[in-house]
């Protein structure tokens, strides 16, 4: 119930919350500001927070210095590719588990969840060797395959928790009216499932975009997505704060915006439905 709160208390609480919120957000804000400085201003002491010569030259130079756009596209292709491929494989499975559950459905779900718990180092060596021998190292195809597989359990689970909420009676009615299984999926289930699928899509693009174990280990230059490309700035000759900031800003901006729209789905997706 709406409780009466004194304005004074609300003001104090707001001040505390805003201060802490801005502190937490500050590294991102600082990166954004630094990306518009010259390299000299970026390392100047004392640092200037707003009053410096704003420039966008870093954004152009990041592209010149290394093919930024290529890596950006690698990220786009790998995260979208693995997400769509994952959905294609997972939608039928989640549908089957949600609407014709058997005694073993729960066991299958739990088993899928358990595959997600295997630490990646347990699989790193064989996957690296298989990729090396199969010519998949540093290819977009290889990264799409691995990211599809590591996110598949989350995709199945998320879709399952959304599909579970679709009332089964509607499907029964469609079946009674003589709808075949494919028709049932296309005309009845899909329209109701779209919001759940969209949420799953969003969360998985975010997760794949930021995945940094497999992308770092399985890509070098050609297929390196932004995670691996940004890591190249850790070498001493790459100590250009303004350019690092520009490259980082472009790498995180799209996902940050998507992420803000998917707060709720994030909770559901990452807790496997345990917290809603």
Q: How far is the CB of 8 from another protein (least distance, A)?
A: 12
Binders of another protein among residues 99 to 138 (CB under 8 A) are 99-100, 102, 106, 108-110, 112-129
Specify the stretch interacting with another protein by CB under 8 A; choose among 41-49, 54-62, 63-71, 134-142.
41-49
- Residues written for the chain: 276
Smallest CA-to-CA distance from 61 within 222, 223, 233 is with 233
- Is residue 52 at the binding interface for another protein, with CB under 8 A as the rule? no
Q: What is the Cβ-side half-sphere exposure of residue 138, based on CA atoms within 13 angstroms?
A: 5
Residue with tokens 């030259």: 57
Q: How far is the CB of 53 from another protein (least distance, A)?
A: 18
- Is residue 50 at the binding interface for another protein, with CB under 8 A as the rule? no
Specify the stretch interacting with another protein by CB under 8 A; choose among 58-66, 87-95, 134-142, 188-196.
87-95
Among positions 92, 134, 135, 195, the unique one binding another protein when judged by CB under 8 A: 92
Kindly give the interhelix angle for 241-261 and 190-210, rounded to the nearest 10 degrees: 160
- Is residue 266 at the binding interface for another protein, with CB under 8 A as the rule? yes
- Is residue 24 at the binding interface for another protein, with CB under 8 A as the rule? yes
Specify the stretch interacting with another protein by CB under 8 A; choose among 26-34, 50-58, 61-69, 133-141.
26-34
Binders of another protein among residues 142 to 201 (CB under 8 A) are 149-150, 152-153, 156, 181
- Is residue 223 at the binding interface for another protein, with CB under 8 A as the rule? no
Smallest CA-to-CA distance from 203 within 168, 273, 151 is with 151
- Is residue 89 at the binding interface for another protein, with CB under 8 A as the rule? yes
Residue with tokens 């049932």: 184
Specify the stretch interacting with another protein by CB under 8 A; choose among 51-59, 63-71, 90-98, 192-200.
90-98
- Is residue 237 at the binding interface for another protein, with CB under 8 A as the rule? no
Number of residues that bind another protein (CB under 8 A): 99
């Amino acid at each position: 119930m709406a409780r009466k709160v004194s304005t004074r208390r609300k003001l104090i609480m707001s001040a505390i919350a805003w201060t802490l919120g801005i502190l937490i957000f500050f590294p991102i804000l600082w990166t954004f500001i630094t990306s518009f400085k010259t390299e000299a201003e970026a390392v100047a002491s004392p640092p200037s927070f707003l009053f410096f010569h704003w420039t966008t030259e870093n954004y152009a130079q990041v592209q010149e210095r290394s093919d930024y756009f290529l890596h950006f596209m690698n990220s786009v292709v790998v995260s979208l590719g693995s997400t769509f491929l994952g959905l294609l494989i997972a939608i039928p499975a989640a549908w089957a588990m949600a609407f014709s559950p058997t005694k073993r459905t729960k066991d299958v779900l739990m088993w899928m969840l358990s595959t997600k718990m295997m630490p990646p180092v347990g699989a790193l060596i064989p996957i690296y060797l298989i990729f090396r021998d199969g010519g998949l190292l540093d290819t977009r195809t290889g990264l799409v395959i691995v990211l599809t597989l590591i996110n598949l359990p989350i995709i199945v689970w998320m879709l399952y928790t959304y599909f579970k909420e679709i009332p089964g009676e509607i499907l029964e009615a469609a079946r009674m009216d003589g709808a075949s299984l494919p028709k049932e999926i296309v005309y009845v289930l899909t329209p109701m499932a779209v919001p759940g699928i969209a949420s799953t899509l969003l969360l998985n693009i975010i997760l794949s975009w930021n995945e940094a174990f497999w992308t770092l280990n399985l890509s070098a230059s050609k297929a390196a997505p932004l995670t691996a490309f940004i890591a190249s700035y850790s070498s001493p000759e790459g100590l250009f704060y303004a350019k690092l900031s520009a490259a980082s800003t472009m790498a995180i901006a799209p996902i940050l915006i998507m992420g803000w729209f998917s707060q709720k789905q994030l909770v559901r997706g990452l807790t496997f439905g345990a917290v809603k």
